[in-house]
Amino acid sequence: MSAKKNLIVSGVLFTVVLLAWPLMMVLAKPIGSIGQQLLWVAGHALLYRAQFVLALLLAPAIVYMMLAQLNRRQTADSISRRFGMVFLAAYVVLNSVSYASQAVLLPRFLATGQMDLARAWYFASPWSVAYFINQLGYCFWGIAAIALFFGSFRGQRLPGLIAAFYFLSALLSIFAFAGLLFESQAFMRLTLPSGLVLFPVGILTIAWGLQKDAG
């Protein structure tokens, strides 16, 4: 597949997944205390699992898109690129563990009555293991995005605009993790905006792939 086709396919895939994920969150959003939410999850395990199976597509979708963008620009191998790739790989692992735990482990804990373990791994609790792993993963993604895109893509039309959105999302992701470390609710709430600001990236990537003379 050509570099331009990879841009189009990856942009479409990322946009679809990013749109579908919040919709699933709305459909499978329990309310009440943590205990009440866990009871809801236990009674709607299939819907809850489906939400996080979809979430597992987020990391592959964005990594595919980022690699397609880097391939199109043909950025030279460098220390910053290698540094970014290490953190990008760490993001994929941490993100996958966090979301997979909700699709596999949490329903099992609830089904066997292991409520302490369920509370410890429940994603919606900001003090859970799954939430911590997820936030750390997105912090690593932010570091990777800055290392891979900010220097080499600056000021270059569509690639530069894509890099700007990555940079904004990266900062929000890093601040969100800092909020978790320092128990700042205001900073912790930056997680959702950090994902939403990436929506234009998929559209811009499709446009870049459709350009006759991509810059």
User: What's this model's pTM, rounded to 2 decimal places?
Assistant: 0.92
pLDDT more than 90, % of the chain: 78
Torsion of CA 41, 45, 51, 57, to 10 degrees: 130
Range of the domain at 105: 3-210
For the stretch 116-151, pLDDT in tens is: 999 999 999 999 999 999 999 999 999 999 999 877
SS (H, E, C) 88-119: HHHHHHHHHHHHHHHHHHHHHHHHCCCHHHHH
Mean pLDDT, all residues of the chain: 92
- Residue 28 confidence (pLDDT) above 60: yes
For the stretch 159-178, pLDDT in tens is: 889 999 999 999 999 999 99
The count of domains in the chain is 1
Q: What is the pLDDT of residue 3?
A: 87
Q: Does the residue 215 lie in any domain? A: no
Confidence band for 89, pLDDT divided at 50, 70 and 90: very high
Q: What is the pLDDT of residue 76?
A: 60
Q: What is the pLDDT of residue 213?
A: 59
Question: How far is CA 201 from each of CA 39, 41, 204, rounded to the nearest angstrom?
Answer: 37, 33, 5
Q: What is the pLDDT of residue 214?
A: 43
For the stretch 199-215, pLDDT in tens is: 999 999 999 999 875 44
SS (H, E, C) 6-74: HHHHHHHHHHHHHHHHHHHHHHCCCCCCHHHHHHHHHHCHHHHHHHHHHHCCHHHHHHHHHHHHHHHHC
Asked whether the beta carbons of 99 and 50 are under 8 A apart, the reply is no
Q: Does the residue 129 lie in any domain? A: yes
Amino acid (one-letter) located at 61:
A
Q: Does the residue 110 lie in any domain? A: yes
Q: What is the pLDDT of residue 150?
A: 78
Q: Does the residue 17 lie in any domain? A: yes
